[in-house]
Amino acid sequence: MVCVHLKMAVGIVLAVLLYVISVVSSTHPKEQTVVGIIGQPVLLPCDRSTLATPNYPTKTRIYWQDLTPRVLHVFKDGNEEYVHQNLWYKNRTTINTDQLASGNLSLLLNPVNVRDNLLTCKVFLIINGVNSQECQITVNVAASYQKPTLNFTDMTLVCTTHGGFPEHQVTWRTHNRTLERHEAVTKTTQDPGTGTYNISSQVNVTEGQNITCSIYNPILNETQSNFIVIPASKEENHLLKWILAAVCPLVVLLTAVVLCVKYPNLRKSWRKMIHCCPEPEPENTAQEPARFPTPSVTVNKTNMNATCSTQGGYPQPVVTWTIQDRGNHTLDPWEVQTNITLDSESGLYSVWSQVNITENQTVTCHIFNPVLRETVSNTTIVSPSKSINTDPAGACDRTQHLIFMN
């Protein structure tokens, strides 16, 4: 009695266990997710232990269908059958009929289209009228974003990338922080043909900033990024140019003034170009010394004076007069009227010197060059006048001199 109850209990437990196993195995088939790249083939894998039954393949049907449901592919009574295939999947599905018996129910979808995204394919197997779902495969469609290109103009930076799927946010990062979403203006366009996205994002930047633009593909777990170090702004470059343009002439002018003051010999040549230099001073010594030509001495009997002149020497000479009749007596400066001028064109000196004379005097004019230590001189003899009465002043002078001489 006890034994019978025990056997019943074990039987019930076993039945429940088997039921649970069967329910689990049939209503929770192998679920998988695969990634399909746009334009490329994707394998929807489905592996079952084996199909080897006495009635395979004649009493066997296999269906691949999505959740709509639309039929992707059909294998029936030993052949592939396309009558029920949905147009959307036409020419894009392949199975390996040779491997079906060994349980390989995988289907190849080629090429993947953006509209295949989130396609869930179920594989149903019907053997001898017994239906079972073998697999459930979901396709996540993806495409890589291109490495972003950065275009910097007028303190705004535009990051552009294209050909990616699915759509995702561009992120911006500087050396110490990630920019907020509102700091960027993002524009996304979807290519009508391929369904891929072009994304461009624009931010305002500051000079010297090292800024990175990144686009993440969550399906491929792939990040594409590019960075740029913002150059100094054009405005600052212009400012710098202006400063240089203003400072350079000032420096040149200052240098010129300093040189003028420090090296007076430079002034002469610069005086014509720059009006900053004062007149040259007589103690100019750096110019090459120049010999004075022998002076000419002319006698004016009307005024009873002798004039000595020469020009083209350097530096300023010392002019003296001597009178032979008085034992080569040198005239005192107050007895002599001398005018020495510097010619600004040639930079050389002209000498003009005049003394009063009396008849029969022998006067000599000496021009001494202090640098060359050279004297040039000329002598003239004042001959007696033949027309004494025509010049009362001269007669007076003459009388005086005669008296003086005597």
Query: What mask, x for binding ligand NAG by CB under 6 A, covers residues 353 to 392?
Result: ----------------------------------------
Q: Which stretch binds ligand NAG (CB under 6 A): 85-93, 117-125, 248-256, 382-390?
A: 85-93
Q: What is the rounded distance in angstroms from the CA atom of residue 195 to the CA atom of residue 186?
A: 18
Query: Least CB distance from residue 287 to ligand NAG, whole Å?
Result: 60
The yes or no reply on residue 201 touching ligand NAG (CB under 6 A) is no
The yes or no reply on residue 176 touching ligand NAG (CB under 6 A) is yes
Q: What is the rounded distance in angstroms from the CA atom of residue 344 to the CA atom of residue 28?
A: 115
Q: What is the rounded distance in angstroms from the CA atom of residue 216 to the CA atom of residue 145?
A: 8
Q: What is the rounded distance in angstroms from the CA atom of residue 222 to the CA atom of residue 219?
A: 8
The yes or no reply on residue 335 touching ligand NAG (CB under 6 A) is no
Q: What is the rounded distance in angstroms from the CA atom of residue 300 to the CA atom of residue 382?
A: 9
Neighbouring-strand partners of residue 252 = none
Tokens of 174: 């500087």
**Residue that the structure tokens 């079952």 belong to:** 48
Question: Which of residues 191 and 335 has its CB atom nearest to ligand NAG in the complex?
Answer: 191
Q: What is the rounded distance in angstroms from the CA atom of residue 1 to the CA atom of residue 24?
A: 35
Rounded to the nearest 5°, which phi and psi values hold at 285?
-125, -10
Among 17, 18, 185, 276, binds ligand NAG (CB under 6 A): 185
Query: What mask, x for binding ligand NAG by CB under 6 A, covers residues 98 to 127?
Result: -x----x-x-x-------------------
The yes or no reply on residue 198 touching ligand NAG (CB under 6 A) is yes
Q: Which stretch binds ligand NAG (CB under 6 A): 129-137, 177-185, 317-325, 388-396?
A: 177-185
> Counting Cβ atoms within 10 Å, is residue 345 exposed (0-12), middle (13-18) or buried (19+)?
exposed
Query: What mask, x for binding ligand NAG by CB under 6 A, covers residues 214 to 243?
Result: -------x-----x-x--------------
Question: Which of residues 19 and 82 has its CB atom nearest to ligand NAG in the complex?
Answer: 82
3-class DSSP state of 333: helix
DSSP notation for 253-320: HHHHHHHHHH-GGGHHHHHTT-TTSPPPPTT--SSPPBPPPPPEEEEETTTTEEEEEEEEEBS--EEE
Q: Which stretch binds ligand NAG (CB under 6 A): 90-98, 246-254, 284-292, 293-301?
A: 90-98
Tokens of 104: 């390989």
Query: Least CB distance from residue 55 to ligand NAG, whole Å?
Result: 23
**Residue that the structure tokens 């395979």 belong to:** 56
The yes or no reply on residue 49 touching ligand NAG (CB under 6 A) is no
Write out the residues near ligand NAG by the rule CB under 6 A: 43, 47, 87, 90-91, 95-96, 99, 104, 106, 108, 151, 153, 162, 176-177, 183-185, 189, 191, 198, 203-204, 210, 212, 221, 227, 229
